[in-house]
Chains A and B, each alone.
Chain A
């Protein structure tokens, strides 16, 4: 019952936002903000229906998904590995932390010029920027999660005769998982921001490129369709990580009704 009313509230909130948009654009409202140049819901729906029947829409979508998955997978592998290494080894921390902390404040999108110079193809540059964006939240969250693990669990495994690899496999990886998933979730969010931005700057395909292209030819309904597509893809990616995280950390105590 409470789940039903929760869903009803969510749907109602979306309908209210769509209704407000329709009201403002259909009446060409010019308040301080100008809605007279923005497309109505009908125009957006017509554009969406037209686009989903063309192969180029799916090619763009596929291109963006491949870029994000590649960049994100590389960032996850590197971020988790480096995070664990820094948390567990003072020597590794001494070697890597100064460099990482110097690079971390640079927004990944500011790496576009470097990416263009470094990589022979735009494609690799976009993946690099996506990877760089997702790497830091994943690495930092992993580092914190590993450092916060109680030493008791490690002691328990060691007194069973377990060595470093046993501790890594049986304590560090599963114990740090809740924190790691926090980092993956944030990393996926910034990875989407960066892949779309990079596509807008230097792509030939992809949802970001197509959205920016629509803007340059003054096709505003197509711009909104691009934004809706980006939002839906980002939401799906975050939901997938959230779901995987919850499934792999079932052992965590959770408050009732905190599943959604």
Chain B
């Protein structure tokens, strides 16, 4: 079952002041919400708060009506930088969420699903950037999370690999019921992937567009 989010008057920051203030946002179960904004607009901060890695100064973040007070395997996260553990092979990286939750280590299907069959025993440093993001995707989805939070996962990839990854993402998400919050600075990527697009400006959310167009987003940014 997918997860819903509600942010109510949320103020977020890192000790030296607020990065985002007065955030009100609803994310429906099963929705793919793209969050677009320029560098420093607080996209990653918002995502870290949804993951439970950052507590708001003010306001509440609710996941299925319950306040988010810490991390949970229900809310998997894919990082922009390489979040893979470099000493673990592809297989052992993908297995990790299952090991932590003491579940059966059945990961072959997911490794195959993201196109890495035959590369199970490779270390992250032996993979390309796109392949590493595939491992992150498999690792995020293997435990059956109810929400997936994606922090510019394809930001460092070349155009061709990025397009391949976007196709793969849409393909695998079709098989899961997970709610997705996808952060990007790329307007086209937000339009391609998002059911709705939230535009983040300095200090907060400027608008959430249900039927977004490139021109409309650029106007808001």
Contact = CB atoms under 8 A, between A and B. Distances in A.
Contacts of A161: 71-73, 97, 100-101, 143
B96 interface: yes
A45 to B, nearest CB: 47
Given A155-B51, A160-B73, A170-B85, 18 more contacts: A152-B82, A155-B48, A155-B79, A156-B77, A156-B83, A156-B85, A158-B53, A159-B71, A159-B75, A160-B100, A160-B139, A161-B143, A162-B100, A166-B100, A171-B85, A174-B87, A177-B87, A252-B86
B76 interface: yes
Majority secondary structure, A binding face = helix
Contacts of A166: 100
Nearest to B48: A155
Interface of A: 152-153, 155-162, 166, 170-171, 174-175, 177, 249-253
Contacts, number: 66
B125 A253 contact: yes
17 contacts: A152-B81, A155-B79, A157-B100, A159-B52, A159-B53, A159-B76, A159-B149, A160-B101, A161-B101, A162-B100, A166-B100, A170-B96, A174-B87, A175-B87, A177-B87, A249-B87, A251-B87
Interface of B: 48, 51-53, 71-73, 75-77, 79, 81-88, 96-97, 100-101, 123-125, 139, 143, 149
A160 B124 CA distance: 19
Contacts of A153: 83, 85
A153 to B, nearest CB: 6
Contacts of B71: 158-159, 161
A251 B76 contact: no
B77 A251 contact: no
Contacts of B125: 251, 253
Contacts of A152: 79, 81-83
Nearest to B83: A156
B125 to A, nearest CB: 6
A22 B79 CA distance: 64
A242 to B, nearest CB: 18
B77 to A, nearest CB: 4
Contacts of B143: 160-161
B127 to A, nearest CB: 12
A114 B82 CA distance: 51
B141 to A, nearest CB: 12
B123 A251 contact: yes
Nearest to A153: B85
